[in-house]
Chain A
Protein backbone atom coordinates (compact mmCIF):
# COMPACT_ATOMS: atom_id res chain seq x y z
CA UNK A 1 0.00 0.00 0.00
CA UNK A 2 1.28 3.48 -0.87
CA UNK A 3 0.53 6.23 1.58
CA UNK A 4 -1.57 8.08 -1.01
CA UNK A 5 -4.00 5.17 -1.06
CA UNK A 6 -5.02 6.02 2.49
CA UNK A 7 -6.58 9.20 1.12
CA UNK A 8 -9.24 7.30 -0.82
CA UNK A 9 -10.99 6.17 2.34
CA UNK A 10 -10.87 6.63 6.10
CA UNK A 11 -10.51 4.14 8.93
CA UNK A 12 -13.22 1.58 9.48
CA UNK A 13 -13.64 2.97 13.02
CA UNK A 14 -15.13 6.17 11.58
CA UNK A 15 -18.19 4.45 10.10
CA UNK A 16 -20.35 6.06 12.80
CA UNK A 17 -22.23 2.95 13.92
CA UNK A 18 -21.85 0.50 16.80
CA UNK A 19 -23.07 0.55 20.40
CA UNK A 20 -23.92 4.03 21.71
CA UNK A 21 -22.58 5.65 18.54
CA UNK A 22 -24.85 8.64 19.24
CA UNK A 23 -22.47 9.63 22.06
CA UNK A 24 -19.35 7.47 21.68
CA UNK A 25 -17.44 8.20 18.51
CA UNK A 26 -14.78 5.51 18.84
CA UNK A 27 -13.02 3.09 21.19
CA UNK A 28 -9.32 2.34 21.27
CA UNK A 29 -7.21 -0.24 23.10
CA UNK A 30 -3.45 0.14 23.19
CA UNK A 31 -0.78 -2.29 24.41
CA UNK A 32 2.89 -1.46 25.02
CA UNK A 33 5.43 -4.25 24.54
CA UNK A 34 9.22 -4.39 24.67
CA UNK A 35 11.60 -7.01 23.32
CA UNK A 36 13.64 -8.57 26.11
CA UNK A 37 16.88 -8.65 24.12
CA UNK A 38 17.21 -4.94 23.43
CA UNK A 39 17.39 -1.80 25.58
CA UNK A 40 14.30 0.41 25.35
CA UNK A 41 14.26 2.75 22.29
CA UNK A 42 15.13 5.86 24.34
CA UNK A 43 18.38 4.21 25.37
CA UNK A 44 19.17 2.55 22.02
CA UNK A 45 21.50 3.56 19.21
CA UNK A 46 20.35 3.67 15.58
CA UNK A 47 21.80 0.22 14.80
CA UNK A 48 19.73 -1.38 17.58
CA UNK A 49 16.56 0.42 16.55
CA UNK A 50 17.02 -0.87 13.01
CA UNK A 51 17.60 -4.39 14.33
CA UNK A 52 14.31 -4.23 16.29
CA UNK A 53 12.51 -3.00 13.15
CA UNK A 54 13.93 -5.93 11.20
CA UNK A 55 13.06 -8.56 13.82
CA UNK A 56 9.54 -7.17 14.07
CA UNK A 57 8.99 -7.05 10.32
CA UNK A 58 10.13 -10.68 9.98
CA UNK A 59 7.75 -11.74 12.76
CA UNK A 60 4.86 -9.91 11.08
CA UNK A 61 5.48 -11.89 7.90
CA UNK A 62 4.75 -15.10 9.81
CA UNK A 63 1.49 -13.88 11.39
CA UNK A 64 -1.70 -14.68 9.51
CA UNK A 65 -3.78 -11.90 11.13
CA UNK A 66 -1.30 -9.26 9.92
CA UNK A 67 -1.18 -10.43 6.30
CA UNK A 68 -1.76 -7.59 3.88
CA UNK A 69 -0.57 -4.92 6.30
CA UNK A 70 1.95 -2.23 5.36
CA UNK A 71 5.09 -1.31 7.27
CA UNK A 72 6.18 2.29 6.76
CA UNK A 73 9.72 3.30 7.67
CA UNK A 74 9.43 6.77 9.17
CA UNK A 75 12.56 8.10 7.47
CA UNK A 76 11.13 7.13 4.07
CA UNK A 77 8.20 9.50 4.58
CA UNK A 78 8.29 13.29 4.37
CA UNK A 79 6.97 15.53 7.10
CA UNK A 80 3.49 15.98 5.57
CA UNK A 81 3.09 12.20 5.12
CA UNK A 82 4.04 11.59 8.74
CA UNK A 83 1.67 14.32 9.90
CA UNK A 84 -1.09 12.68 7.88
CA UNK A 85 -0.60 9.42 9.79
CA UNK A 86 -0.84 11.35 13.06
CA UNK A 87 -4.05 13.03 11.89
CA UNK A 88 -5.55 9.60 11.18
CA UNK A 89 -4.91 8.63 14.82
CA UNK A 90 -2.52 5.89 13.65
CA UNK A 91 0.47 7.25 15.55
CA UNK A 92 1.61 9.94 17.99
CA UNK A 93 3.12 13.39 17.42
CA UNK A 94 6.29 12.16 19.11
CA UNK A 95 6.59 9.36 16.58
CA UNK A 96 6.43 11.83 13.69
CA UNK A 97 8.79 14.43 15.08
CA UNK A 98 11.86 12.21 15.49
CA UNK A 99 11.66 9.63 12.67
CA UNK A 100 15.05 7.90 12.92
CA UNK A 101 14.80 4.13 13.42
CA UNK A 102 11.01 4.31 13.77
CA UNK A 103 8.30 2.48 11.86
CA UNK A 104 4.53 2.12 11.61
CA UNK A 105 2.56 -0.98 10.68
CA UNK A 106 -1.00 -0.43 9.42
CA UNK A 107 -3.49 -3.14 8.48
CA UNK A 108 -6.05 -2.76 5.73
CA UNK A 109 -9.09 -0.77 6.98
CA UNK A 110 -6.77 0.76 9.62
CA UNK A 111 -8.19 -1.41 12.39
CA UNK A 112 -4.75 -2.31 13.78
CA UNK A 113 -1.63 -0.18 13.86
CA UNK A 114 1.72 -0.72 15.54
CA UNK A 115 4.24 2.02 16.27
CA UNK A 116 7.73 0.55 16.32
CA UNK A 117 10.40 2.22 18.48
CA UNK A 118 8.27 4.96 19.97
CA UNK A 119 8.81 5.12 23.74
CA UNK A 120 8.52 1.32 23.84
CA UNK A 121 9.58 -1.12 21.11
CA UNK A 122 5.94 -1.81 20.18
CA UNK A 123 2.81 0.22 20.74
CA UNK A 124 -0.05 -1.83 19.33
CA UNK A 125 -3.47 -0.22 18.92
CA UNK A 126 -6.89 -1.32 17.76
CA UNK A 127 -9.67 1.17 16.95
CA UNK A 128 -13.38 0.38 16.77
CA UNK A 129 -16.44 2.46 16.00
CA UNK A 130 -18.82 3.25 18.89
CA UNK A 131 -18.47 1.86 22.42
CA UNK A 132 -16.69 -1.35 21.58
CA UNK A 133 -13.73 -1.80 23.91
CA UNK A 134 -14.40 -5.51 24.44
CA UNK A 135 -14.23 -6.21 20.73
CA UNK A 136 -11.09 -4.08 20.44
CA UNK A 137 -9.59 -6.08 23.33
CA UNK A 138 -10.41 -9.42 21.67
CA UNK A 139 -8.67 -8.33 18.47
CA UNK A 140 -5.59 -6.90 20.15
CA UNK A 141 -5.33 -9.84 22.56
CA UNK A 142 -5.16 -12.28 19.64
CA UNK A 143 -2.53 -10.19 17.85
CA UNK A 144 -0.50 -9.90 21.04
CA UNK A 145 -0.65 -13.71 21.48
CA UNK A 146 0.54 -14.20 17.91
CA UNK A 147 3.39 -11.72 18.37
CA UNK A 148 4.38 -13.34 21.68
CA UNK A 149 4.85 -16.65 19.89
CA UNK A 150 7.36 -15.00 17.53
CA UNK A 151 9.08 -12.49 19.82
CA UNK A 152 10.35 -12.66 23.37
CA UNK A 153 8.73 -9.86 25.39
CA UNK A 154 10.17 -8.17 28.47
CA UNK A 155 7.97 -9.59 31.22
CA UNK A 156 8.13 -10.41 34.92
CA UNK A 157 5.45 -12.62 36.48
CA UNK A 158 5.33 -10.28 39.49
CA UNK A 159 5.03 -6.98 37.58
CA UNK A 160 3.82 -7.99 34.12
CA UNK A 161 4.98 -6.28 30.94
CA UNK A 162 7.96 -3.98 31.46
CA UNK A 163 7.73 -0.55 29.86
CA UNK A 164 9.98 2.51 29.64
CA UNK A 165 7.60 4.52 31.79
CA UNK A 166 6.41 2.99 35.10
CA UNK A 167 2.92 4.46 34.57
CA UNK A 168 2.41 1.72 31.94
CA UNK A 169 4.03 -1.21 33.76
CA UNK A 170 1.80 -4.25 34.25
CA UNK A 171 -0.89 -4.85 31.69
CA UNK A 172 0.68 -1.96 29.73
CA UNK A 173 -2.85 -1.51 28.42
CA UNK A 174 -4.78 1.70 27.94
CA UNK A 175 -8.38 1.66 26.87
CA UNK A 176 -9.83 4.96 25.76
CA UNK A 177 -13.12 6.17 24.45
CA UNK A 178 -13.82 9.34 22.45
CA UNK A 179 -17.09 10.84 23.67
CA UNK A 180 -19.23 13.64 22.25
CA UNK A 181 -20.74 15.49 25.22
CA UNK A 182 -22.26 18.73 23.91
CA UNK A 183 -25.30 18.73 26.19
CA UNK A 184 -23.19 18.33 29.34
CA UNK A 185 -21.10 21.28 28.13
CA UNK A 186 -24.15 23.44 27.30
CA UNK A 187 -25.82 22.69 30.62
CA UNK A 188 -22.51 23.48 32.38
CA UNK A 189 -22.30 20.09 34.05
CA UNK A 190 -19.19 18.89 32.26
CA UNK A 191 -16.68 20.00 34.91
CA UNK A 192 -18.60 18.12 37.57
CA UNK A 193 -18.55 14.98 35.43
CA UNK A 194 -14.82 15.33 34.63
CA UNK A 195 -14.01 15.84 38.31
CA UNK A 196 -15.86 12.63 39.17
CA UNK A 197 -13.95 10.78 36.44
CA UNK A 198 -10.60 11.97 37.77
CA UNK A 199 -11.57 10.85 41.29
CA UNK A 200 -11.95 7.33 39.91
CA UNK A 201 -8.38 7.34 38.51
CA UNK A 202 -9.41 7.86 34.93
CA UNK A 203 -7.99 10.60 32.76
CA UNK A 204 -10.00 12.84 30.51
CA UNK A 205 -8.78 15.27 27.93
CA UNK A 206 -10.04 17.22 24.98
CA UNK A 207 -10.06 16.19 21.37
CA UNK A 208 -7.29 17.79 19.38
CA UNK A 209 -8.22 18.74 15.89
CA UNK A 210 -5.73 20.77 13.90
CA UNK A 211 -2.49 20.05 15.71
CA UNK A 212 -3.78 20.56 19.20
CA UNK A 213 -6.77 22.86 19.07
CA UNK A 214 -9.14 21.61 21.72
CA UNK A 215 -12.80 21.54 20.99
CA UNK A 216 -14.99 21.76 24.03
CA UNK A 217 -17.42 19.00 23.17
CA UNK A 218 -15.14 16.02 22.49
CA UNK A 219 -13.53 14.21 25.38
CA UNK A 220 -11.28 11.21 25.47
CA UNK A 221 -11.60 9.12 28.62
CA UNK A 222 -9.06 6.43 29.51
CA UNK A 223 -7.86 4.26 32.38
CA UNK A 224 -4.76 5.24 34.35
CA UNK A 225 -3.81 2.13 36.30
CA UNK A 226 -2.26 -1.01 34.84
CA UNK A 227 -1.41 -3.02 37.96
CA UNK A 228 -3.80 -4.65 40.42
CA UNK A 229 -6.45 -5.44 37.78
CA UNK A 230 -6.65 -7.80 34.83
CA UNK A 231 -7.15 -6.44 31.32
CA UNK A 232 -10.78 -7.51 31.17
CA UNK A 233 -11.44 -5.99 34.62
CA UNK A 234 -10.00 -2.69 33.46
CA UNK A 235 -12.16 -2.76 30.35
CA UNK A 236 -15.26 -3.57 32.37
CA UNK A 237 -14.46 -0.67 34.69
CA UNK A 238 -14.11 1.76 31.79
CA UNK A 239 -17.35 0.44 30.26
CA UNK A 240 -19.17 0.94 33.55
CA UNK A 241 -17.93 4.49 33.83
CA UNK A 242 -18.67 5.33 30.19
CA UNK A 243 -22.24 4.01 30.53
CA UNK A 244 -22.83 6.39 33.42
CA UNK A 245 -21.47 9.32 31.43
CA UNK A 246 -23.70 8.32 28.48
CA UNK A 247 -26.71 8.36 30.79
CA UNK A 248 -25.79 11.83 32.08
CA UNK A 249 -25.37 13.15 28.54
CA UNK A 250 -28.71 11.64 27.49
CA UNK A 251 -30.45 13.29 30.43
CA UNK A 252 -28.82 16.63 29.64
CA UNK A 253 -29.98 16.32 26.01
CA UNK A 254 -33.56 15.72 27.14
CA UNK A 255 -33.30 18.69 29.51
CA UNK A 256 -32.14 20.93 26.66
CA UNK A 257 -35.12 19.84 24.54
CA UNK A 258 -37.58 20.53 27.35
CA UNK A 259 -36.11 23.88 28.34
CA UNK A 260 -35.59 25.53 24.99
CA UNK A 261 -36.25 23.46 21.93
CA UNK A 262 -36.42 26.37 19.43
CA UNK A 263 -33.04 27.69 20.61
CA UNK A 264 -31.42 24.28 20.20
CA UNK A 265 -32.98 23.79 16.75
CA UNK A 266 -31.77 27.22 15.70
CA UNK A 267 -28.20 26.49 16.82
CA UNK A 268 -28.16 23.14 15.00
CA UNK A 269 -29.66 24.44 11.75
CA UNK A 270 -27.45 27.53 11.61
CA UNK A 271 -24.40 25.29 12.04
CA UNK A 272 -25.60 23.11 9.18
CA UNK A 273 -26.13 26.17 7.00
CA UNK A 274 -22.68 27.55 7.76
CA UNK A 275 -20.92 24.30 6.94
CA UNK A 276 -22.72 24.02 3.60
CA UNK A 277 -21.99 27.58 2.52
CA UNK A 278 -18.82 28.86 4.18
CA UNK A 279 -15.89 29.77 1.91
CA UNK A 280 -13.18 30.17 4.58
CA UNK A 281 -13.20 28.11 7.76
CA UNK A 282 -10.68 27.31 10.52
CA UNK A 283 -10.50 23.78 11.91
CA UNK A 284 -11.58 25.07 15.32
CA UNK A 285 -14.77 26.57 13.88
CA UNK A 286 -15.39 23.50 11.73
CA UNK A 287 -15.15 21.12 14.70
CA UNK A 288 -17.54 23.27 16.75
CA UNK A 289 -20.05 23.24 13.88
CA UNK A 290 -19.60 19.48 13.34
CA UNK A 291 -20.41 19.03 17.00
CA UNK A 292 -23.70 20.92 16.67
CA UNK A 293 -24.69 19.10 13.46
CA UNK A 294 -23.82 15.76 15.05
CA UNK A 295 -26.00 16.65 18.03
CA UNK A 296 -28.85 17.67 15.73
CA UNK A 297 -28.55 14.40 13.86
CA UNK A 298 -28.45 12.29 17.02
CA UNK A 299 -31.49 14.11 18.46
CA UNK A 300 -33.56 13.88 15.29
CA UNK A 301 -33.50 17.62 14.59
CA UNK A 302 -31.61 17.08 11.34
CA UNK A 303 -32.26 14.17 9.02
CA UNK A 304 -30.63 13.04 5.80
CA UNK A 305 -27.13 13.80 7.08
CA UNK A 306 -24.61 11.06 6.58
CA UNK A 307 -23.05 10.17 9.94
CA UNK A 308 -20.08 8.57 8.26
CA UNK A 309 -19.41 11.60 6.06
CA UNK A 310 -19.47 13.82 9.13
CA UNK A 311 -17.01 11.56 10.98
CA UNK A 312 -14.69 11.38 8.00
CA UNK A 313 -14.57 15.16 7.81
CA UNK A 314 -12.94 15.25 11.26
CA UNK A 315 -9.92 13.56 9.68
CA UNK A 316 -10.01 15.17 6.23
CA UNK A 317 -10.09 18.81 7.34
CA UNK A 318 -6.73 18.61 9.10
CA UNK A 319 -3.73 20.38 7.52
CA UNK A 320 -1.71 17.43 6.20
CA UNK A 321 -4.82 15.81 4.70
CA UNK A 322 -5.83 19.02 2.95
CA UNK A 323 -2.33 19.31 1.51
CA UNK A 324 -2.31 15.69 0.36
CA UNK A 325 -5.75 16.11 -1.26
CA UNK A 326 -4.52 19.24 -3.05
CA UNK A 327 -1.12 17.56 -3.68
CA UNK A 328 0.84 20.68 -2.75
CA UNK A 329 1.92 22.80 0.22
CA UNK A 330 -0.80 25.18 1.43
CA UNK A 331 -0.41 28.17 3.73
CA UNK A 332 -2.89 28.79 6.57
CA UNK A 333 -5.21 30.92 4.44
CA UNK A 334 -5.17 28.45 1.55
CA UNK A 335 -5.92 25.65 3.99
CA UNK A 336 -8.94 27.50 5.42
CA UNK A 337 -10.25 27.95 1.88
CA UNK A 338 -9.59 24.37 0.84
CA UNK A 339 -11.15 23.12 4.09
CA UNK A 340 -14.39 24.99 3.38
CA UNK A 341 -14.45 23.51 -0.14
CA UNK A 342 -13.88 19.94 1.11
CA UNK A 343 -16.69 20.32 3.66
CA UNK A 344 -19.14 21.78 1.12
CA UNK A 345 -18.43 18.99 -1.31
CA UNK A 346 -18.75 16.24 1.29
CA UNK A 347 -22.00 17.59 2.77
CA UNK A 348 -23.57 18.27 -0.60
CA UNK A 349 -23.60 22.05 -0.26
CA UNK A 350 -24.48 23.86 -3.47
CA UNK A 351 -21.81 26.18 -4.78
CA UNK A 352 -24.16 29.14 -5.08
Chain B
Protein backbone atom coordinates (compact mmCIF):
# COMPACT_ATOMS: atom_id res chain seq x y z
CA UNK B 1 0.00 0.00 0.00
CA UNK B 2 1.38 3.46 -0.87
CA UNK B 3 1.05 6.62 1.17
CA UNK B 4 -2.21 8.60 0.77
CA UNK B 5 -0.41 11.94 0.84
CA UNK B 6 2.77 11.63 -1.22
CA UNK B 7 1.66 8.54 -3.15
CA UNK B 8 5.28 7.40 -3.33
CA UNK B 9 6.52 5.76 -0.16
CA UNK B 10 5.15 2.67 1.54
CA UNK B 11 2.35 3.36 4.01
CA UNK B 12 3.36 2.08 7.44
CA UNK B 13 1.16 4.29 9.62
CA UNK B 14 -2.58 3.88 9.76
CA UNK B 15 -4.52 6.74 11.24
CA UNK B 16 -8.14 7.26 12.07
CA UNK B 17 -8.97 10.92 11.94
CA UNK B 18 -12.20 12.38 13.20
CA UNK B 19 -13.22 15.81 11.98
CA UNK B 20 -16.74 17.07 12.61
CA UNK B 21 -17.82 13.59 13.65
CA UNK B 22 -16.76 12.24 10.25
CA UNK B 23 -14.33 9.40 10.56
CA UNK B 24 -11.76 8.81 7.87
CA UNK B 25 -8.95 6.31 7.61
CA UNK B 26 -5.56 7.37 6.32
CA UNK B 27 -2.59 5.27 5.32
CA UNK B 28 0.63 7.24 5.43
CA UNK B 29 4.38 6.86 5.14
CA UNK B 30 6.45 7.74 8.22
CA UNK B 31 7.46 11.15 6.94
CA UNK B 32 3.97 12.30 5.97
CA UNK B 33 2.54 10.92 9.21
CA UNK B 34 5.00 12.98 11.21
CA UNK B 35 3.89 16.14 9.44
CA UNK B 36 0.27 15.15 9.82
CA UNK B 37 0.62 14.57 13.54
CA UNK B 38 2.29 17.94 14.03
CA UNK B 39 -0.62 19.52 12.20
CA UNK B 40 -3.17 17.66 14.27
CA UNK B 41 -1.45 18.75 17.44
CA UNK B 42 -1.16 22.41 16.61
CA UNK B 43 -3.61 23.31 13.91
CA UNK B 44 -6.62 21.24 14.84
CA UNK B 45 -9.08 22.52 12.26
CA UNK B 46 -7.48 25.97 12.28
CA UNK B 47 -7.03 26.13 8.52
CA UNK B 48 -10.74 25.58 8.02
CA UNK B 49 -11.61 28.24 10.55
CA UNK B 50 -9.27 30.76 8.97
CA UNK B 51 -10.60 29.98 5.51
CA UNK B 52 -14.16 30.42 6.76
CA UNK B 53 -13.24 33.72 8.33
CA UNK B 54 -13.11 35.57 5.00
CA UNK B 55 -16.80 34.86 4.51
CA UNK B 56 -17.95 36.14 7.86
CA UNK B 57 -15.63 39.03 8.62
CA UNK B 58 -15.59 41.38 5.67
CA UNK B 59 -12.93 44.07 5.54
CA UNK B 60 -14.35 47.48 6.35
CA UNK B 61 -13.70 48.77 2.87
CA UNK B 62 -11.92 46.72 0.26
CA UNK B 63 -10.63 49.76 -1.62
CA UNK B 64 -9.07 51.24 1.45
CA UNK B 65 -7.66 47.82 2.23
CA UNK B 66 -5.61 47.61 -0.95
CA UNK B 67 -3.90 50.92 -0.28
CA UNK B 68 -3.49 50.41 3.40
CA UNK B 69 -3.50 46.70 4.25
CA UNK B 70 -4.07 45.79 7.89
CA UNK B 71 -0.83 44.93 9.66
CA UNK B 72 0.56 44.73 13.19
CA UNK B 73 1.73 48.09 14.50
CA UNK B 74 4.74 46.51 16.21
CA UNK B 75 6.05 43.53 14.21
CA UNK B 76 4.47 44.59 10.88
CA UNK B 77 2.94 41.15 10.26
CA UNK B 78 0.30 41.64 7.54
CA UNK B 79 -3.12 40.31 8.54
CA UNK B 80 -3.15 38.43 5.23
CA UNK B 81 -0.08 36.45 6.37
CA UNK B 82 -1.83 35.48 9.57
CA UNK B 83 -4.81 34.27 7.56
CA UNK B 84 -2.52 32.22 5.31
CA UNK B 85 -0.25 30.66 7.93
CA UNK B 86 -2.28 30.83 11.14
CA UNK B 87 0.54 32.24 13.27
CA UNK B 88 0.74 35.65 14.97
CA UNK B 89 4.03 37.56 15.13
CA UNK B 90 3.99 39.21 18.55
CA UNK B 91 1.76 40.06 21.49
CA UNK B 92 0.80 43.38 19.88
CA UNK B 93 -0.77 41.48 16.93
CA UNK B 94 -3.60 40.69 19.35
CA UNK B 95 -4.37 44.39 19.68
CA UNK B 96 -3.80 45.23 16.03
CA UNK B 97 -6.12 42.43 14.83
CA UNK B 98 -8.46 42.60 17.82
CA UNK B 99 -11.71 42.84 15.87
CA UNK B 100 -10.88 39.85 13.66
CA UNK B 101 -9.41 37.74 16.45
CA UNK B 102 -12.37 38.20 18.73
CA UNK B 103 -14.63 36.24 16.38
CA UNK B 104 -11.94 33.68 15.57
CA UNK B 105 -11.16 32.93 19.22
CA UNK B 106 -14.86 32.49 19.88
CA UNK B 107 -15.11 30.05 16.98
CA UNK B 108 -12.09 28.04 18.08
CA UNK B 109 -12.85 27.85 21.79
CA UNK B 110 -16.60 28.33 21.90
CA UNK B 111 -15.94 31.40 24.05
CA UNK B 112 -13.59 34.37 23.98
CA UNK B 113 -13.82 35.04 27.68
CA UNK B 114 -10.67 34.40 29.72
CA UNK B 115 -11.22 32.67 33.05
CA UNK B 116 -7.73 31.41 33.84
CA UNK B 117 -4.99 32.58 36.18
CA UNK B 118 -3.47 36.09 36.24
CA UNK B 119 0.31 36.54 36.57
CA UNK B 120 1.27 38.33 39.77
CA UNK B 121 2.77 41.33 37.93
CA UNK B 122 -0.59 42.01 36.32
CA UNK B 123 -2.43 41.68 39.59
CA UNK B 124 -0.35 44.56 40.96
CA UNK B 125 -0.64 46.67 37.83
CA UNK B 126 -4.36 46.18 37.76
CA UNK B 127 -4.77 47.14 41.37
CA UNK B 128 -2.80 50.35 40.78
CA UNK B 129 -4.66 51.08 37.59
CA UNK B 130 -8.13 50.36 38.91
CA UNK B 131 -7.71 52.88 41.71
CA UNK B 132 -7.14 55.62 39.13
CA UNK B 133 -9.33 54.51 36.31
CA UNK B 134 -11.60 51.57 35.73
CA UNK B 135 -9.28 48.78 34.52
CA UNK B 136 -8.13 50.36 31.27
CA UNK B 137 -6.90 47.07 29.80
CA UNK B 138 -10.43 45.74 29.74
CA UNK B 139 -12.02 48.71 28.02
CA UNK B 140 -12.94 47.80 24.49
CA UNK B 141 -13.91 50.78 22.40
CA UNK B 142 -16.73 49.42 20.36
CA UNK B 143 -17.26 51.09 17.05
CA UNK B 144 -20.49 50.74 15.14
CA UNK B 145 -18.55 49.15 12.30
CA UNK B 146 -16.84 46.68 14.59
CA UNK B 147 -20.12 45.72 16.20
CA UNK B 148 -21.73 45.16 12.81
CA UNK B 149 -18.90 42.84 11.86
CA UNK B 150 -19.31 40.97 15.13
CA UNK B 151 -23.01 40.69 14.44
CA UNK B 152 -22.29 39.16 11.03
CA UNK B 153 -19.96 36.57 12.50
CA UNK B 154 -22.34 35.75 15.36
CA UNK B 155 -25.14 35.15 12.84
CA UNK B 156 -22.85 33.07 10.63
CA UNK B 157 -21.88 31.00 13.68
CA UNK B 158 -25.59 30.67 14.53
CA UNK B 159 -24.90 32.13 17.93
CA UNK B 160 -28.20 33.95 18.15
CA UNK B 161 -27.99 34.72 21.83
CA UNK B 162 -24.83 36.70 21.22
CA UNK B 163 -26.25 38.22 18.04
CA UNK B 164 -29.12 39.62 20.10
CA UNK B 165 -26.65 41.08 22.63
CA UNK B 166 -24.71 42.80 19.86
CA UNK B 167 -27.87 44.11 18.21
CA UNK B 168 -28.79 45.76 21.53
CA UNK B 169 -25.39 47.40 21.69
CA UNK B 170 -25.74 48.68 18.12
CA UNK B 171 -29.14 50.18 18.97
CA UNK B 172 -27.67 51.89 22.01
CA UNK B 173 -24.82 53.38 19.99
CA UNK B 174 -27.14 54.52 17.21
CA UNK B 175 -29.40 56.22 19.73
CA UNK B 176 -26.41 58.09 21.18
CA UNK B 177 -25.49 59.34 17.70
Contacts and interface: CB of A to CB of B under 8 A. Distances in A.
A152 B121 contact: yes
B13 A213 contact: yes
A160 interface: yes
Interface in B75-106: 75, 77, 86-91, 94, 101, 104-105
Nearest to A229: B115
Contacts of A173: 116
A205 B86 CA distance: 22
Interface in B85-137: 86-91, 94, 101, 104-105, 108-122, 126, 135, 137
Chain A contact-residue range equals: 35 or more
Interface residues of B, number: 53
A167 B44 contact: yes
Interface stretch (B29-37, B57-65, B151-159): B29-37
Interface stretch (B16-24, B141-149, B160-168): B16-24
B1 interface: no
Interface string A143-162: 01100110011111111111
Contacts of B54: none
B5 interface: no
Contacts of B88: 40, 162-166
Given A149-B120, A165-B87, A159 B114 contact: yes
B119 A155 contact: yes
A157 B113 contact: no
Contacts of A169: 94, 105, 109
Given A157-B138, A211-B34, A170 B116 contact: yes
Given A208-B34, A214-B33, A227-B108, 20 more contacts: A39-B75, A42-B89, A43-B75, A93-B34, A93-B38, A145-B120, A154-B90, A156-B94, A159-B112, A159-B114, A165-B88, A166-B104, A170-B116, A171-B116, A198-B21, A212-B37, A226-B109, A227-B112, A228-B109, A230-B116
